[in-house]
Structure formats: C-alpha cells, structure tokens
C-alpha cells in the first residue's frame, strides 16, 4: 500500500535477511547468557526484522527485553566470528541433546535423511542453522537495533503443542533509519481504523456484543454509498440480486455439508423442536433459489448476487475491530455456468475485481488455496478445478502464490489480499470454485441437446466483508475518504450568525442536488469551525460571511487547506459534482 515503507539502505533483500538472521542468533546468544535455562526453538528473519521462539520458565517483560538488548550490544562489540560446520546426524543429535535443547533435537530428527546438518558458531554459542550469516557479530550496529515485542506462538504453529514466547526484533545499518522506522510505525497506528472509526463516528463495538459491530449514522452512510456503487458495477457485469433468509433448518445445512464441516463456527438454536442455524455463508440459500425453477443453457452463466448478513462464531482472541468480526455482510454472488464457461467467467470476475479495487487505488496479492484435509469431492475433481483457476489467472498475466491445503471444504479458491496501514494483509476478495454444491443440491440446466446437465458454480466476493473493506479503506485513506464516499461531503460554515440563514439556504440547495451537507451554526469563531471540520476530514468547507452574502458567493476550502476563493454556489456544485461523478481521489 505505501511504497515508501520499504526503503532500506540495505543493499538488497538477501543481505537484509542475512543481517536480520544473524541478529536473531545474537539475540538467542544474549538470552542464553542471561538465562541458560531457556530452551531455543526457531529464529528466522521475516519481512521486517526477525523473531526467535523460546521456551522460558518465566514470562518475558519489557524490562527483560532491555536487558537482552544490552547484552546483544555487548556481543556486537565482541566482534565474534561466525563459523559454519556440519555434523553427521548422530553427532548432531548428541550435540543438541547434551545442550538440553529438545526443540533442536526434534528439528534434527525431522530433517530428511540425506540433508546436511549445519551449525553456526559464534563465541560460546552454537545454533542449528542452514544459514547464511554475516561473518562477524561486529557487522551489526548495536544502537540501530530494537526488540519490538514479545508474544506467544505455538511450537510449529500447532495449537495442540507447547506455547512458546516469541521475541521480535528489528535492526538497521544506521540509527536514524531505526528511528525513521519506529516513527513510521507510530504514524501508521494513527490510521488504525478502530481509532478513526471512533473519531469519525463510523462504528462502535460494545462488550454486550463482542465482534458484532454497530454502524453509526456516518458509517451507515459510507456503507450505503459503497453498496450503491457495488450495485451499479454488478448491474454492468450482468448480475441480478437476491436476498435469502438469515436462518435455515438443520436439514439444509446437512445437505450443504456445513453441518458436518463448519458446525463449530455456526450459531444454532432450536425452534419447535427443530434445529436451526444462522447462516455462516449465503450459498445454500442461493442453491435453493437456483433449484426453484428450471434453467436453460441459454441462461448461463447466471450471475446472482446477494449482500448477505452472515454470522460466524470466531475465537474470541481472533476478533479485531472491523477486520475480524463475528457478524458481517458479504457482497456475495454465485455464478452458475457450464464447464466450458469456467475460465471465461473467472477472468471476467477478476476484471470486475480490478475495476473495483482501482477505484479505491488499492493493490492486492493473489493466493491460490488448494485442497484441505477436511474436504468433500474427489482428488481428481479438486486437481481439475485447481488447474482451471491457475490457467485463468496466468492467462491474464497475473502472479499468485500457492497456499497449500487452505481451500474451502467444497473447493479451491483464489484469495485477493489487501494490506492495512501496518502492512498486515487481509483477505477481501475471493473466487471459490465449487462443483460439490451443485451435486448435493442436484442443480440442473437443460442443454442444447435437450438433456439435463449439472452446472458448476463459483462463489465470489469482491469487497469480501463490507465491514472489513470499510476498515481497509478507512486506513488506506487515513479517514479522508474521496468526496464520493465521504459521509459528509460539504460543511457550510457561517462566519457570524448574520450568515446563518444564507448558509442554511446553500446547504438546502446542495442537499437538493444530492450532496451530503451539514451546517455548523455554532456560535464559534470561523477558525475553530475550520479546524474541526478539517479534523472530521470533510472534503469541502464552505465559508460564508457578509462578503459572500453581498456578492452571492460561497468561499470553498478543501480539507487539504487549499482555499478555492469565492465562487457561485452553482460553480462549486459543478466542481464537486464532477469530483463525485469521476470518483476522484484527492
């Protein structure tokens, strides 16, 4: 999202990673010097810095981190040489067993038979490691290094195994680069949608409903404006819209497979002795709609959209503002088609995604998620569908990474990830291929040959969750939404009460023209009104005073601080109208 966030003076990525990897060894060495009883797990470099997972009999605190940093600086000053050596498997095991490092022993045991088992030694400290590394701890700039956090992590990412403590660090060749980095993190936090959502009156979360967001008037305006746009685009791409019930009976969910494969996340209840589930997905309802009448091959592809409110019981620790909630609106759609149409439909869908994301100036990365352990359908079916997704996406010249075993239980999918202000990525769009549900619901269409055939389908969302998408764009625009999206587009600011009527008339006229407009009629100085409207990130302020009343003008000012000078209200309306119509970002 923010390109400027990735400029380091490190010559290249490989060197950067090597530098950070050596930092992680220095950190582990420091910890072992201070607390020899700590057990080491793994410590790789990551996109920004490094971490090391450890098992300690006490919890690391910020004070511990300072101690570790101090020891690390010492190790840097000692200029210890890093030396690589290899050991045969038996000796390697013996070595780590003697050091009483159970995690390392497990790692060695899991290495392939023929793998070279390499170690890096610096002073008294030796770690199992494939490398590469810097040649000396003296290459690390001790005062341009910081341990940033200490958190929990499961050993080998498995929630059934030990909970380890993960210490994160970051380092640069120069102190001022570290300072700039930390400053950037602080700036990014100011864009946090949870903070802006409160400041701008968009939404709220309450203890009474953890993970169930409340939309406030301004947030609701934003949401509705977004959906108006969504409907406009989808109409253009040939979609129709439906709405299916929020709750359906158990029989339906058993048929769709959700009762067996998704029950842990579903809210269920019993009504008149019948089990019901609140929908976690819209598809089964969509299947019923398709199955409710006969279809011809001439109707395909049939594109059916639904802004559907779904509920999923997510783990409490996973909740995160609007990014991860328990109830959200999906801008869902199911496209039913013949096998021959699959590739075209997928490509058409990606073009729709591109159109929508570019309106917001958002970029994305694509992941292809393949067959999970818990799945329905045959391996052949899965592979065939995965190949179709691959072919469609490479055919458009787009890149993707494979996310092994992360598909939905009914089919493989392409996920579109957008980044938040801290560079964390959130899945928004997804295109999921499904030949299972049509089977389970015995969907049919009549082909050219007069015979019944089974359609295939995709499930797809562009925005993903309206809530998450609003969170992403709030951070992306730092709350300063483009005029077409801004909950309030114009704030009319009378200089004195003499201008209040005039201000109200101007607002009424703008309102009539379809703009979202407010008047700040408080008895405050114009400077204060401007300050507050600016902080509210209203795109345009219209200052109106005696001079304007005399000349029949308004004096617009953009939130950026630009004073547009006096002009007629019609002129201003034309200017704003153009900005809204083109969905300009300014």
Partner RNA sequence: GCUGAUGUGGCUCAAUGGCAGAGCAUCUCACUCGUAAUGAGAAGGUUGUGGGUUCGAUUCCCACCAUCAGCUCCA
DSSP state letters, 519-563: E--SSS-HHHHHHHHHHTT-SEEEEE-HHHHHHT-BEEEETTS-B
| 467 is a contact residue toward RNA (CB under 7 A) | yes
Helix, strand, coil share (%) of the chain residues, nearest 5: 40, 25, 35
Residue 176: Cβ within 10 Å count: 9
Q: Which of 543, 569, 573, 580 binds RNA (CB under 7 A)?
A: 543
Dist CA 407 CA 435 (whole Å): 14
Q: Which of 74, 121, 184, 194 binds RNA (CB under 7 A)?
A: 194
By CB under 7 A, what part of segment 274-303 binds RNA? Answer: none
Dist CA 18 CA 94 (whole Å): 28
Q: Which of 43, 169, 197, 211 binds RNA (CB under 7 A)?
A: 211
Dist CA 550 CA 175 (whole Å): 59
Return the number of the residue (397 or 565) whose C-beta is nearest RNA.
565
Return the number of the residue (104 or 537) whose C-beta is nearest RNA.
537
53 classed as catalytic: no
Q: Which of 287, 461, 538, 576 binds RNA (CB under 7 A)?
A: 461
Burial class (CB in 10 A: 0-12, 13-18, 19+), 117: buried
| 307 is a contact residue toward RNA (CB under 7 A) | no
| 326 is a contact residue toward RNA (CB under 7 A) | yes
Dist CA 510 CA 25 (whole Å): 63
Q: What is the 3-state secondary structure (H, E, C) of 139-170?
A: HCCHHHEEEEEEEEEEHHHCCCCCEEEEEEEE
Dist CA 31 CA 93 (whole Å): 22
Dist CA 584 CA 577 (whole Å): 11
| 63 is a contact residue toward RNA (CB under 7 A) | no
| 74 is a contact residue toward RNA (CB under 7 A) | no
| 216 is a contact residue toward RNA (CB under 7 A) | no
23 classed as catalytic: no
Return the number of the residue (82 or 266) whose C-beta is nearest RNA.
266
Catalytic residue (choose from 25, 334, 476, 559): 334
Dist CA 69 CA 140 (whole Å): 12
Q: Are 43 and 101 in contact (CB under 8 A)?
A: no
How far from 456 is each of 252, 296, 320, CA to CA, in Å?
Answer: 19, 14, 35
Minimum CB–partner distance for residue 420 and RNA (Å): 10
| 516 is a contact residue toward RNA (CB under 7 A) | no
Number of residues lying near RNA (CB under 7 A): 80
| 544 is a contact residue toward RNA (CB under 7 A) | yes
How far from 459 is each of 131, 282, 307, CA to CA, in Å?
Answer: 43, 9, 13
261 classed as catalytic: no
By CB under 7 A, what part of segment 327-366 binds RNA? Answer: 328, 330
339 classed as catalytic: no
Catalytic residue (choose from 76, 129, 150, 283): 283
By CB under 7 A, what part of segment 379-418 binds RNA? Answer: 406, 408, 415
Q: Which of 6, 163, 224, 363 binds RNA (CB under 7 A)?
A: 163
312 classed as catalytic: yes
By CB under 7 A, what part of segment 140-159 binds RNA? Answer: 149, 151-154, 157-159
133 classed as catalytic: no
| 561 is a contact residue toward RNA (CB under 7 A) | yes
Minimum CB–partner distance for residue 489 and RNA (Å): 17
Q: What is the largest CA-CA distance in the chain?
A: 94
Q: Are 363 and 356 in contact (CB under 8 A)?
A: no
Q: Are 559 and 534 in contact (CB under 8 A)?
A: yes
Q: Which of 167, 530, 538, 580 binds RNA (CB under 7 A)?
A: 530
| 468 is a contact residue toward RNA (CB under 7 A) | yes
Catalytic residue (choose from 413, 460, 468, 537): 413
Minimum CB–partner distance for residue 336 and RNA (Å): 20
By CB under 7 A, what part of segment 489-508 binds RNA? Answer: 495-498
Which residues are catalytically annotated?
283, 312, 330, 332, 334, 413, 459
């Amino acid at each position: 999202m923010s390109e400027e966030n990735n400029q380091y003076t490190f010559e290249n990525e490989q060197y950067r990673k090597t530098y950070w990897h050596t930092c992680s060894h220095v950190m582990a060495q420091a910890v072992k010097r201070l607390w020899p009883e700590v057990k080491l797990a793994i410590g790789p470099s990551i996109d920004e810095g490094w971490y090391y997972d450890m098992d300690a009999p006490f919890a690391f605190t910020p004070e511990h981190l300072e101690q570790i940093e101090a020891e690390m600086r010492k190790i840097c000053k000692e200029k210890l040489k890093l030396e690589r050596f290899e050991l045969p498997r038996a000796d390697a095991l013996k070595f780590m067993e003697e050091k009483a490092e159970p995690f390392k022993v497990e790692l060695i045991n899991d290495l392939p038979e023929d793998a070279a088992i390499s170690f890096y030694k610096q002073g008294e400290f030796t770690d199992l490691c494939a490398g590469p590394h810097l040649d000396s701890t003296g290459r690390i700039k001790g005062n341009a290094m910081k341990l940033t956090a200490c958190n929990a992590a499961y050993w080998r990412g498995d929630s059934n195994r030990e909970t380890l403590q993960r210490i994160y660090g970051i380092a640069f060749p120069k102190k001022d680069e570290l300072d700039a980095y930390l400053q950037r993190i602080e700036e990014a936090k100011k864009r946090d949608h949870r903070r802006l959502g409160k400041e701008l009156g968009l939404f709220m979360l309450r203890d009474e409903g953890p993970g169930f967001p409340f939309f406030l008037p301004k947030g609701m305006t934003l949401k509705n404006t977004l959906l108006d746009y969504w409907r406009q685009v989808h109409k253009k791409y040939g979609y129709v819209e439906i709405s299916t019930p929020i709750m359906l009976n158990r029989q339906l969910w058993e048929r769709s497979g959700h009762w067996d494969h998704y029950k842990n996340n579903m809210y269920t209840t019993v009504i008149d002795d019948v089990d019901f589930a609140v929908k976690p997905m819209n598809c089964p309802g969509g299947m019923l709609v398709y199955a409710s009448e006969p279809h011809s091959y001439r109707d395909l592809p049939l594109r059916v959209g639904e802004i559907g409110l779904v509920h999923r019981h997510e783990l409490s620790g996973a909740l995160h503002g609007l990014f991860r909630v328990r109830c959200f609106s999906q801008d869902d759609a199911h496209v039913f088609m013949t096998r021959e149409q699959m590739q075209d439909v997928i490509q058409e869908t990606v073009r729709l995604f591109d159109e929508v994301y570019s309106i917001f100036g958002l970029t994305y990365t694509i992941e292809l998620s393949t067959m999970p352990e818990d799945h329905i359908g045959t391996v052949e079916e899965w592979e065939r569908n995965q190949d179709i997704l691959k072919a469609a996406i490479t055919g458009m010249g787009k890149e993707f990474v494979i996310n092994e075993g992360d598909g939905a239980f009914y089919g493989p999918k392409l996920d579109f990830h957008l980044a938040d202000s801290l560079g964390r990525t959130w899945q928004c769009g997804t295109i999921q291929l499904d030949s299972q549900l049509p089977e389970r619901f015995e969907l049919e269409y009549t082909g050219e040959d007069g015979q019944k055939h089974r359609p295939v389908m995709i499930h797809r969302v562009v925005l993903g969750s309206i809530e998450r998408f609003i969170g992403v764009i709030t951070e992306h625009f730092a709350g300063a939404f483009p005029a077409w999206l801004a909950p309030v587009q114009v704030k009319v600011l009378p200089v004195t009460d003499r201008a209040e009527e005039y201000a109200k008339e101007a607002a009424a006229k703008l309102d009539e023209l379809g703009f979202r407009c407010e008047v700040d009629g408080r008895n405050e100085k114009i400077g204060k009104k401007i300050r507050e409207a600016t902080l509210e990130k209203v795109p345009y302020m219209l200052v109106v005073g005696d001079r304007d009343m005399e000349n029949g003008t308004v004096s617009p000012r953009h939130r950026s601080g630009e004073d547009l000078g006096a002009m007629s209200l019609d002129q201003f309306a034309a200017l704003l109208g153009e900005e809204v119509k083109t969905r300009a970002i300014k």
